[in-house]
Structure 1
């Protein structure tokens, strides 16, 4: 082969990530010659290897040992992919497969799923021939078989992990399976231990078999094992507990039982950790037991209880937080947990508990060798321990009275802490993400050589492998930069939460005083309407504890505000939301001063927070909105001109579309919140609310279109006109909270090549949808009202619309145009579209077949579109006499008469209804009934969203929710029945009018 040919053959290798090209080329040729693996097939697997050089080297070494094993797996796509992934991420697996080449065949289907706990336990017990708790073989061969089978399982877990699309999202599942595998290995090793000490093949024979069988040993997983958060190679922390049934204990005596259990524990540990032909799995660490290394290896439950009652230090209770039975006797393990858990959750009341936990974390950091500090993933500042200690301290302190946060796992505990309001959503989300990133880095570092380590690699080539295997970055520099940013974020949150003064204040409250005051306050809060008095007490304590000025003002405010919360719709949520808002604004001087000094701000705040989860959740994101409560003018909707000016200024200030749209979304959230607060406090009407929400949506879409057009339409295609047409309730300026924004998209090429114009229009639509998305306050641009519905093109030219409506339009499409309103894009194009639409929606006459078709479709809507199981009478949009009835009747009248009655040429439902009344097309009484039903259904729909924070078109059956909706509509308290009766009565009357005029 010439030099140029050889160079050409190496180029693909470089593109796949090989760095030792000549060596790799030689290995690939050897694989082809010796194992019959074609170069192309080999390289297909190389794409999955984080370190293809190491992978091909290990693969060639394996082929030299067993060419047939390599050849067989190479024809199985999944197994081949898994093998490359494992060898490219782990030299440890390369060594394992070299020792046991037959294990390669077990990789078939690897990577598809994680093995279940039952599957792993069954597999490992089978490896030692376990039956009735005893292994068939107690020789060293049993331990070897166990270790090989365990590593087979480990390879399956690692293959799934390495081949997953997003490894960081699988950290929790992978860690849980690793913990389950460790428990299964301990179970199998315990079976071998029983046989060994009862006279198995090893000839130990210390105790009669029946005594061993009757002696119970429970293995309690601690730390990451107990929390099901284990690493690939980590010490497995355990505590051993001995026991026996009453008859056995009386016959043998406690000393004999403990002696047998101790021998079992020793042999179980040896089976996992002692050096044999097959390397140890991991260290079984029992040093978290009472008295540590100096204490007895095995104790009874009663002995453990006595120790924890009299001698245990605070850190030992912190360690017990994660305790979980993982192997051995399940009943004994559960008894142990039941005995120690109450002590765990009262430990925070011990003197100086919080200080001792804080000092312990500092000591851990201080004892890290200086050269390791920059590389420590686990123990260093901003590392895993910062997150774990923070979460555990919050759990232990607040878990004194709240069993809902008593979780073993860090991520589960974070979820519980944020759900119960002890940590902010943003902080919990960052902690959760950062924890998974740090654990993934730790996992990959350990996989590299299947060795216990918690250090980031220092060498650039190793960082590059880490980046590729973790999928966290594309380069070694990128993964290092990510790690540094995660450390900074973790350390910042840790310092703020871990040293929160509130923790010491809550933990230091004397037990007798805590019980007495809690009981009295509990009854008082329950009596005035709090559903969760215990939760309310925690929030009050959080708000009022301490000697600061902030706490002093809160103590003055609380008695009055608690009464206002109790008078509201949802006192519990109101107080929780107030606590969150106070924590957000706690360091600002104006917030508490405003609540104390303003005549109505505190009451208004209590009212909006207890009346609306929608408002409460948004205020948590926009806490400065509380200032609006001190000025009624600030609760009025802002004008479209003002919002447009702000949106344009935003786009001028920001260089990138992402930054600009992030600011536009913030503007929309803020203005939605302003309108919601105004609606709850009665400062705006339903008509003003609909107009304001429509204006906010208009401005958002207009700003988004301006931004995406600059990005997508190049200067040479600048003549392209593009517009957004509002449809449905959006087009009628009748939006409520939770309403979709119905739209159509139109363009005019103006000399741009037609196919190019269509492509640009579709790209504009896609970008509009993408950049308008907002998970916090959803905005869905729904284009289903376009011609042909979902089957039609997402965007059409004006000529295409004209042709379609002229030749193929069906009645419902003309009907849909009645609320079409141009709202963004080219003004000239909007004018042209409107002229075209007017010819379709305001016909000189409409034939009877079209009228019949509209009536038929309406009947189908009533029978087919209602959600299954929903009472039609309670559906606010599609039910009898509700929004749909009023709108379809008005639209039919418009199709029939708007050509002759110009006042009916409006996109407003109520505007067209009144115009029809004034034209004598509908009696005033009938128009009033329809308008009343439409307004009430609209108000109830928005109130439903405001109350729950979730969109729903169904009037709730739940009396509490009905009462809450009624309160938002200014009904008296406990008016659920009245709300229901008013709605059902109003819609019944409207339905009679509808049936007479629509179907008559």
Structure 2
């Protein structure tokens, strides 16, 4: 029947006012025969308008009325609906929030009567009430129907606000408990002989175990079985496994009534690879010997729910002591945080911003933070041992383990996010944690949470606000009370005890918690602006320090830098306002000795860490460095001061390079670890080599200026050799050089020679003056005649020597010769002189090749330090730098004349050219390159960590762990790092033996 235009217009307007988004469709439904008797009743329209989705509620009501078995049943429903407000609110509330429950009511039209009861005892039913509700189910299909009927009553109380989120989640867990018991009873009834053989306990884990279940969630369980009535244990376990499997199928399988939820037993020992049912003794043995940190974390929520409850209680009692010892495990906090990071990393990129549960600032962040604190402090304080997140958070606040204001904010955020999650799942009863993007869905969700004014915008704003709160607090939650423990608190505030603070610091990896607390007190106490900013910064800094191999050193170094710069206004402003600066500083200060030592000598270099785009950490070019060094030398009063100024530039630039290397290797929250390790190696090699060249140029200028004014009586150049000439210097490398001079036209040759020798002697003296800066050792032992030959020669002398006396090893050494400082024309002519020697026409004869091989074998046997494990020596060991470099250099000597690409001083470039020329197979070149990069990074890491050069891995555990962190290995994986190094080196050695000794080169 079509309504009159006037009435239609009036109804249309009223429907819009009551929140209907499709008034035309709503009018048609209201004018239909099902609602003919009540279409004009204002009570109905008001009730529909109060639901999350009035259109959905009206459609669901019509479907329910259509499904009634006759006119009498339909009238009974309408009469009750109009006369009983509790039922009206419950039924329409459910229909407006859940399309899936509307489907259920349409299939089972009498189930609406489950919502009629409104007695006080009905408000918070427990397991027994739900068991009565499921009691009539004699098969899996009937169990599903009964389960949905119980779920209907939970949802009704939820959407009407009769229960709040924690109570709803507890009711869902209790319904799951009753359902597991009913399913196990059905399984036992189907196989009574199995039930007689065994005792089977079902242990709830996860959200079910914690009394905080979602509407749709996997129900995590663990099974414990024992023999009953003297049965054989093997037979009993097989019977228990059949019962457990059947119980899982009853809950998980899809029937005409859908499924209930999957039962997930993958939290059991060994996961899906382990037996489904174990004895209590077997469980205990596994957790005592093999369990990982996350498995103890999972046991926090373990709770017996079905089957043999006495056996279940025995299980919990036996394992609880192990749970509360988990915080004493090595790398405990790091393991938990690593697991959290792995969860986030596995979220598809397109879903991260919509992930309510797993994304940054989501529910899992709250749960992980709370569980971490429970495990650290729960051993001594039994009040913290709740499996329910909000109860545990409340206990943590009461005990002073979490600030009350922080706990209140986190509680509020968690309740909002869980409520949003519930309403998202309730709509179609599907397991999802993604906030929808469709505006209609967002509108329904917002209204369901009571946000009636602009629900889409308000919901989005509130969701983002709560997520931001969680992101800010979930790390701070762990560290903030450490500051409160050493600060003066406001009256009434609960303070973390000294013992609890010590426990927390030890769990974080601090070896000297007493010293750490002293540093915190020095940094954060008082009412100064500096202390206030430090109190803001330290919670996150402590987290970054704890992520390193040496948190104690990170905190101590931060205190030293802050003591040096604390009164400098820009320092605190930099750390407070520049997002990357504080994290970069924390990474650099806790990565080893070299970078902090450099920074302590020039604290103002902290400013380099603050550029948001990373420009401050990009190494400067050789031209810029040389320009700055020469300008500093010009301003100096004498040569010694000039060299001191050059050293100052070197110190700052070494810090810049080391910081870039550390941050690129460790990564930060905003900048993941650099994937191309070779690029970092090249960056360090180029930067340190350029810096060394600029320092030598400045030292040369200082010496010449003081002794001879502007013009030396001889042209003078410095040739870089070895790693220096190859642009491959590490932090601790010596600078191998040759000194070349050529008397100026008209100059006395003897005077020119004396001047050249004096320049070299004075340069070496000035560079060797003791200093707190890293030493720059100039080594000229690769010169003709070695240590017995003159330190400096004329170009003609080099030419005569190389023509008449040069040996194979000297031609070999010249492969990496490159001018680095001094007279550019003289350097170019030296290069022209040596090119025919190092790239000989026709290659090498066989005698020369044999000589190179003999020299290599001799070096391997004679130069390795005694007591060193050769397989872990990055320079001289099998598959180390020497193996790769000699292999590449033999290729250069043999083929450089005809292959222009081989005429480079750089190892990696020469190897790439050899591959491109077909001299090395692509896979072999990749193996050699990987080994060379890894060995170089090991040497760089040792210098960064220990502050002194080394060619093999440290033996001290913390230093070894720090090298591991630099190389990308997390806490507790130093053994994996050593195994990986041996494996890489072994493969490289195999390639080297084929190419170098086997004739392939």
TM norm structure 2: 0.48
TM norm structure 1: 0.48
Q: Which has the larger radius of gyration?
A: 2
